Structure 1
Amino acid sequence: MAPELSESVRRAVLWVPDWPVVAAVAEGLLDPEVPAAVHAGRGVLVASASARAAGVRRGMRRRSAQQICPELVLLAADEVRDARAFEPLVQAVETVVAEVEVVRPGMVVFLARGPARHVGSEGALAEALVGVVAEETGAECLVGVADGLLTAMLAARAGVVVPSEESTVFLAGQEIGCLTLAAGTRRAAAETADLVDLLRRLGIRTLGTYAALESGDVAARFGSHGLTMHRLARGLDTVPPSARRVEDDVLAAADLDPPADRSDVAAFAARALAEQLASRMLRRGVVCARLRVAARTEDGTELVRTWTIDGAPSAAELTDRVRWQLEGWLSGRSGRPPSAPLTHLELVAQEVSPAGAVQDGLWGRARRGEAQAGRAALRVQGLLGAEGVLVPVLQGGRDPRAAARLVAWGDDPTPLRRTDAPWPGQVPTPWPATVPREPVPVRLLDAEGGLVRIDARGTTSAAPRRVVVPPAGRAQTGTAATPVVRAGEYPLLAWAGPWHGAERWWTDQGRRRAYVQVVPEGVPAMLLALERGSWQLEGIYD
């Protein structure tokens, strides 16, 4: 889409409310009649209309949401699922509009002037889009038309067409937090959230108040990002349109041999291309406004999709969008899947402009060994799939097993639980150095040979004297034949504990566990856990 030579461009935004919930319903994971919510970690991200009617709100803790609405169905967030289910909807929009950009799963944007002229008016365009989306996908959507990206987004949330002469009035009364809607990357979202928090503390609580500030004062006080958000608050685009092309597009392309007919296979090449594209943009010191993903099939069919992406996207953020798009094309859920396997993949950074200041990290560029390790991991993922290479992420928890989360190599290593939060009943540190993939059944015996018990008050039935590891006491710590500890019966030299804790005891999923540290003779110290009357080996202190 060529930019128009005005201070702001007339845009239309199509938005599907509660898209993560709608996507889960589309894939058969949720019943549309039951109150539902999608959560990340412990907080609610999106709630369905029936759940909101019961009092469930965004940001609410899962425990509080279930107390307010006991019949609430919770589902973990999944960006790949959201993007995969969104592709049929984008294809439905393309039956009305020729060129569409995906902002995020659940929202698309496009220039409004041409399509509106074709169907008769902007109101007719909105009606046509709502009708075709409902007919093709069954989803309910809202369409907004206005000058500037942020204004169009807010118009879509209200389902209105804002005339050009009313844009300033429409924006003026909007809450300052609406600026976060325009953030297209994690970095931009974090910077915008910090800016909004600062503006609120300074007493600037509406877009109109922020827009009334002088641009020079905004640049001096809030920097380049604050100036970009200031343009959005004024109803303008983030970058003034130019009559000439400032920078050439940045391209990264590769042939797929053998051709890829599965998304996990194509994702291997996509990740390498995304890293190559991010590296080229960094070397040239440029940022982009759009990412174009293009693929070619064995029979010559061309597949193209454009994503809106602002700022200097990282390789991980580029990879996410490419992987989402490949899932939409190749998962088989698309209304028009590729007619043949993919033979060529191409990524193009468009609307490229100088970054101003792009530099390496504080400690310099990644070392050669780190780069080689990353390439090796990508090659293994190409053979085994995205879930074939996992890396641990530390997060909050009461025990070593809960404090480690495995994510696919290259995915966002974000902990789901805060590490600095209080965890009553937490096993004291240091924690075991070796944690088996699955707990190993053991027996903890007293002097009489009876099984040691721990009551609800955390009191042991007798002092532990021996630990018995049965012959089947093996677990996968790297290979299936690796023993966690030799089978046998070991007298104890010392023991400590118990540390007793109950999690969600008021629900059917509640757990009661008690931990004991023991030092057997002849083998390393162990962390044992008692749950439902059975002892398990949870870790080895090497």
Structure 2
Amino acid sequence: MLVLWCPDWPAVAAAAVGGVAVTRPTAVFSANRVVACNAVARRDGVRRGMRRREAQSLCPELAVFGADDGRDARLFEAVARAVEALVVGVEVVRPGLVAVPVAGAASYFGGEHALVERLVDEVSAAAGVECQVGVAEGLFAATLAARRGELVEPGRVAEFLAPLPVTELDDRAELVDLLRRLGLRTLGAFAALPERDVVNRFGADGLLAHRLARGRSERPPLRRRPPPELTLTEEFDPVIERVDVATFLAQGLATRFCSGLAGHGLACTRLGIYAVTEDGEQLGRVWRCAEPLTPAGVADRVRWQFEGWLRAAPGRRPTSGVTRLRLEPEETVEGRSLQLELGGEGSLEEDNERAARAFVRVQGLLGPEGVLTPLLDGGRDPAARIRLVPWGDPRDRATPADATWPGRLPAPSPATVLDRPVPAQVFDADGRAVGITAREWVTAAPRRLSVAGGTQRDVVGWAGPWPLAGDRRRPGPQRARLQLLLASDGGPDEPPEAVLVHCAGTENPLWTVEGVYD
């Protein structure tokens, strides 16, 4: 697989549309945080995930743009066409990244190095952008090779991946955080684990990441060919000449397309989008995806492709409107993970639409805060990680996915988190109150717990403490959390109970129970 990567593509596309010089620092923001920036901005300290105010304080001349997937896809179509002029079988992974099979093209141009040089020159001349090319076995390894401009020889992909940090699995933030806390900081160290142990400890998502770290594809190839009836073709009268019309129609087509695949137990990972114009022009593009496409994912890619077709530069756009659209599953995988219910086709989408309409009506009666939905965000304790978002507002994280939280509790979280912590007392073996020292450790091993002045229960095990980070320059009691395993207060067959407690202070410590584990 050959992957051509245009670095910082959202920032490059935004600067091109805004008429900003490439030498000026540029950043693209979503939810007031940096999602992409160019190399000039990075030299001034701007980084992904940074707040807008902080980024502009570091770089006052920063050119600021909002995120726009349509803009990125529209401009990237010129890059895809430049690659397609030399190599057949172009597959767009996302705006800024394109993949092609390398074997036939390398033989035609006299080797992989010659092919890479021709591609870089062609993209630079036709699209006017810089790019990097990488070659390796598999899309994941080829993408990492493109970021480093390397050509990995066949059979050496595991050797290439081994020294790379696990942060390269950047779309799996929780798994990466767990691997780093376990001391597995490179892909090679993760790949060395036995597959059975990976499944038992990290689950299905960890197994997929383990396959990537070993240099294998995320999923074994599915040998059966998609049935012809899974291809969806739609005729349009009047013809489609505007992107907003195509976007509206794509939503219904995407739902029907994915429902047909689900009926055969399949999901699409390579989507072919083909169109015919009123003048008979043939348009086509293949989109490759790491994860099986949902209806929303299919609709997005149809919209992006129409952005590239209908809003291309004069001379490159179709001379007439689109009369026929065909969605074809070029590659499929087993779709067990997408079969969410046993109901009829489209019932899940209909239920969601009915619920959304009901929520809007309630908000009309009670106001925007009348309907809140929970969002798992950053924080040190389970209660702080839950943020309630009004229905209809963007569900974006307020903190970066890679943010560190000193004192954060390890998994699993308590099954029950109390709205109001309950006062408690913790004693050592001699009946003295246990507190937290200035070095953030317990003054003695916990041996008994009394909740709200009730009967003291024996502590048969404990873990922690996990200090709560604060401003150490300000005076105040030390604070930390512990997990306590309590002896059963029932019969001998009753299982023990585990609780999460919080302590503040050394002298006259204040204890509270914050959560209960199953």
Pairwise CA distance, 1:393:
10
Residue 250 of structure 2 corresponds to residue 260 of structure 1: no
The code of the aligned residue for 1:149 comes to L
The code of the aligned residue for 1:245 comes to R
Choose the corresponding residue for 1:245, options 224, 236, 250. 224
The code of the aligned residue for 2:28 comes to V
Paired residue secondary structure (1:360): coil
Pairwise CA distance, 1:68:
1.1
Cα distance change on mapping 1:357 and 1:324 into 2, 3 Å? closer
Distance 1:18 1:241 in 2: 31
Choose the corresponding residue for 1:121, options 108, 111, 131. 111
Q: Counterpart in 1 of 2:99?
A: 109
Pairwise CA distance, 1:362:
11
Pairwise CA distance, 1:166:
3.0
Distance 1:130 1:84 in 2: 20
Choose the corresponding residue for 1:287, options 253, 257, 267. 267
Distance 2:338 2:127 in 1: 42
Q: Counterpart in 2 of 1:274?
A: 254
Distance 2:339 2:215 in 1: 31
Distance 2:308 2:67 in 1: 17
Q: Counterpart in 2 of 1:215?
A: 195
Distance 1:211 1:51 in 2: 35
The code of the aligned residue for 1:273 comes to L
Q: Counterpart in 2 of 1:414?
A: 395
The code of the aligned residue for 2:177 comes to D
Distance 1:67 1:370 in 2: 43
Q: Counterpart in 2 of 1:135?
A: 125
Residue 173 of structure 2 corresponds to residue 193 of structure 1: yes
Pairwise CA distance, 1:200:
2.0
Cα distance change on mapping 1:371 and 1:39 into 2, 3 Å? closer
Q: How many residues align structurally?
A: 370
The code of the aligned residue for 2:129 comes to A
Q: Counterpart in 1 of 2:30?
A: 40
Once the two structures are superposed, residues 285-308 of structure 1 have per-residue CA deviations (whole angstroms, 9 ceiling, x without a partner) of 322221111111112221110111
Assess if the C-alpha contact under 8 Å between 1:174 and 1:206 holds in 2: yes
Paired residue secondary structure (1:313): coil
Deviates more, 1:91-100 or 1:269-278: 269-278
The code of the aligned residue for 1:295 comes to A
Pairwise CA distance, 1:277:
1.3
Once the two structures are superposed, residues 366-411 of structure 1 have per-residue CA deviations (whole angstroms, 9 ceiling, x without a partner) of 4857658999xxxxxxxxxxxxxxxx99999xxxxxx98978xxxx
Cα distance change on mapping 1:66 and 1:298 into 2, 3 Å? same
Pairwise CA distance, 1:359:
3.3
Alignment of 1:14-53 (within 5 A): 14-53=4-43
Pairwise CA distance, 1:142:
0.3
Q: Counterpart in 1 of 2:316?
A: 336
Report sequence identity in percent. Answer: 45
Distance 1:367 1:48 in 2: 39
Cα RMSD after superposing both structures: 2.9
Residue 172 of structure 2 corresponds to residue 204 of structure 1: no
Choose the corresponding residue for 2:74, options 76, 84, 93. 84
Paired residue secondary structure (1:169): helix
Q: Which runs of 5+ in 1 are unaligned?
A: 1-10, 181-188, 376-391, 397-402, 408-412, 419-542
Distance 2:320 2:217 in 1: 39
The code of the aligned residue for 2:159 comes to V
Q: Counterpart in 2 of 1:163?
A: 153
Distance 1:69 1:267 in 2: 37
Paired residue secondary structure (1:26): helix
Cα distance change on mapping 1:145 and 1:368 into 2, 3 Å? closer
Choose the corresponding residue for 2:169, options 172, 179, 186. 179
Q: Counterpart in 2 of 1:94?
A: 84
Pairwise CA distance, 1:214:
1.7
Distance 1:241 1:359 in 2: 20
Distance 2:34 2:152 in 1: 32
Assess if the C-alpha contact under 8 Å between 1:44 and 1:57 holds in 2: yes
Q: Counterpart in 2 of 1:433?
A: none
Q: Which runs of 5+ in 2 are unaligned?
A: 358-370, 376-388, 400-518
The code of the aligned residue for 1:78 comes to D
Deviates more, 1:346-355 or 1:167-176: 346-355
The code of the aligned residue for 2:227 comes to D
Residue 134 of structure 2 corresponds to residue 154 of structure 1: no
Distance 1:82 1:260 in 2: 21
Pairwise CA distance, 1:103:
0.6
Assess if the C-alpha contact under 8 Å between 1:85 and 1:333 holds in 2: no
Once the two structures are superposed, residues 205-238 of structure 1 have per-residue CA deviations (whole angstroms, 9 ceiling, x without a partner) of 1110111112222233323332222111111112
Assess if the C-alpha contact under 8 Å between 2:267 and 2:338 holds in 1: no
